[in-house]
Amino acid sequence: MDTRKTMDCLEDLLKIPHYKGTDSQDVIEGYLRDASNIKGHAEGLLRPECVEDVSCILKTCQDRNIPVTIAAQRTATTGSPVPFGGVVLSMENFDQIHSINEVDAGVVLGQYQQQIEREGWLFPPDPTSRNECSIGGSIACNASGARSFKYGATRPWVEGLEVVFPNGEIRQIDRTTPIPSHWPRLNLSLPSVKTAAGYEPCTNLLDLMIGQEGTLGIITKAWLTTIPNPTVLGLLVFFDSNADCLRAVHQLKWGAIRYSKGQTDIVHNAISPRVLEYFDRNSIGFMRAKLDDLPNATCGLFIELESMSEVFAALQPCLNILESCGALMEHSILADSEQGRNRLYQARHAIPARINEIVIANGMPKVGTDFAVPDHRLEWMMDAYAEVDLPYVLFGHIGDNHLHLNMLPSTKTELVYAKELYVELARIALEYGGTVSAEHGIGKIKKQLLAEQVGVGVLEQYRLLKNVADPNWVLGRGTLFDRL
């Protein structure tokens, strides 16, 4: 990349005051990392205030072949918003909630959810970082979270987007908007699991823009689907064995209502948990920071049930299943009030909080997985995790067969070993028909694993699409896959 050309371009852009740009490396320093903790570099930072500004910036950078990396709250764990040259385009000024269903891309997801919940509405996607991440960022990686067991990932809850394309074109798109006729079509099959790895094979432009990680367009506004906010009941239960826990999970999943593109699947019974989360023995130990009366159990489940009234018809059938599967019912915790649910949420969030404390104390990053596998391989994948011979914590979205193994190395040697184990486990997940990224995306750090998942032929399809949509590869350069 020609640094002089980049600086000349940046100099021209910095002359426009409302772009709020800078070439001060002291300021830019704050935009060079995300939660993956890899560090990049950039020659400039631009903070536009309107969609027309984004359009002008992209057109200028496309004409001059200057890389543009989109950044919002930088909560990604994959390096996607980390720049390696060129300019950072920050979406921080796109921060307006226009209505219950219309919102700017830079708004913090949790802020939006809290506001509409006060008005009686729910936007179901709930990534763990919802109180820090932006709506545009969560759409760009098709984020999910605990409630994805019932409601799916972000995709079905997006009705429309305002997008600036790499040539500067501004468009409002929905599922009636066809992919441009001159863009190559994707011909590939996704694994039969929750996945956020690569482009979506689809026939409309909206679904292609969801999960593209800032490589095909910049999302500036979203129109979202909401539903009436239900009454929620929380339940914490424990088991003496993983086998008992998995039997309970299987029976609870069999009776679940699931949303697909905003519709419900066939209902077998009325249990319908919206959240089905697993935590291992180490996780239980971490949770004692908030709940000191927990049993010495092997594992546990966190379950949420919903009702549109104060009557929870699903509760007794759920309790019957848990008891029949050997749950330690005398130690279960039922939360039927907001205060009680908050107590359980705090206990659950004590797990990542304690992990972060250990990471700081060790002076080494954690190495965490984001794999999902089909139902019939869940137990096998958990057996593979159990073979890991480093300190670790295992918890997460067991309803989606999507557990997060967090390895906690304490030396550089252990860190190297943990990364080797990560790759080995990723390949096991692929062998089982799973995905290397269920919710976090690929970014810049999992490109080789994406290549192994989709194969050379699909990568070539991705590159052909990128060549047409973004001729100079200015957007998100180095994310998902590299230019050959």
257 — pLDDT class (breaks 50, 70, 90): low
Whole-angstrom CA distances from 62 to 21, 43, 68, 388, 473 are 18, 16, 9, 46, 8
- Structure confidence at residue 3 (pLDDT): 67
State which fold the 102-227 domain adopts: 3.30.465
The pLDDT score that the predictor gives to residue 309 is 77
Q: Which fold has domain 230-341?
A: Alpha-Beta Plaits (3.30.70)
Q: Are 277 and 397 in contact (CB under 8 A)?
A: yes
Mind listing the pLDDT tens digit for each residue in 169-220? 999 999 999 999 999 999 999 999 999 999 999 999 999 999 999 999 999 9
Q: What is the mean pLDDT of residues 256-266?
A: 49
- pLDDT band (50, 70, 90) for residue 314: confident
CA dihedral 416, 419, 420, 424 (to 10 degrees): 170
Structural contact between residues 78 and 440, judged by C-beta atoms closer than 8 angstroms: yes
Indicate whether this model's pTM tops 0.85: yes
pLDDT digits (tens, 9 = 90+) for 158-179: 999 999 999 999 999 999 999 9
State which CATH number among 3.30.450.20, 3.40.50.2000, 3.30.70.2740, 2.60.34.10 fits the domain covering 363-441. Answer: 3.30.70.2740
pLDDT, residue 272, reads 77
Q: In 181-270, which residue ranges form alpha helices assigned H by DSSP? A: 205-209, 242-254
3-92+465-469 CATH choice from 3.30.43.10, 3.30.830.10, 3.50.50.60, 1.10.10.10: 3.30.43.10
Q: Which residues belong to CATH 3.30.70.2190 in the chain?
A: 230-341
Tell me what the pLDDT averaged over the chain comes to. 92
Distance between CA 323 and CA 318 in Å, rounded?
9
Window from 132-141, 307-316, 414-423 with minimum mean pLDDT: 307-316
